[in-house]
């Protein structure tokens, strides 16, 4: 069912240049972002640029720790976010994808 009042198009919006309240740099609030904001019912424009929003979102989070081990399939280097144990095989990204797609 098509409801013309719910569907919004980017044609009703124009890219808008805003100034970030954190860093003072200008950023573009695109027509697509404006349509998304309207669809979600957001009433206010963003006050921070993407970089400052991301920095605020990630503040206080510990950096992710990576462990290097040997891939059980190809013998290459596998970087993983968990401490590998000897009782289970660990695969590099490529070998992991191959095994996942083969199932």
Query: pLDDT tens-digit profile of 72-99?
Result: 999 999 999 999 988 999 999 999 998 8
In the predicted model, is pLDDT for residue 36 greater than 80?
yes
Closest-CA residue to 45 (of 55, 36, 58): 36
Which residues are 80's β-sheet partners? 67
- The confidence score (pLDDT) of residue 11 equals 67
pTM of the model: 0.52
Q: How many helices (H) and strands (E) does the chain have?
A: 3, 4
Query: What's the whole-number mean pLDDT along residues 46-56?
Result: 95
| Mean pLDDT (the chain, rounded) | 88
- Strands 77-80, 26-29: pairing is unpaired
Tens-digit pLDDT profile for residues 1-16: 444 444 445 568 999 9
């Amino acid at each position: 069912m098509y409801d013309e009042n719910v569907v919004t198009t980017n044609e009703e919006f124009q890219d808008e240049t805003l100034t970030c309240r954190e860093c003072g740099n200008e950023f573009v609030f695109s027509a697509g972002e404006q349509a998304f904001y309207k669809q979600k019912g957001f009433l206010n424009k963003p006050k921070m640029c993407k970089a400052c929003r991301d920095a605020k979102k990630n503040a206080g989070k510990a950096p992710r720790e990576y462990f290097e081990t040997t891939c059980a399939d190809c013998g290459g280097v596998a970087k993983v976010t968990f401490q590998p144990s000897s009782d289970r095989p660990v695969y590099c990204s490529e070998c992991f994808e191959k095994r996942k797609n083969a199932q």
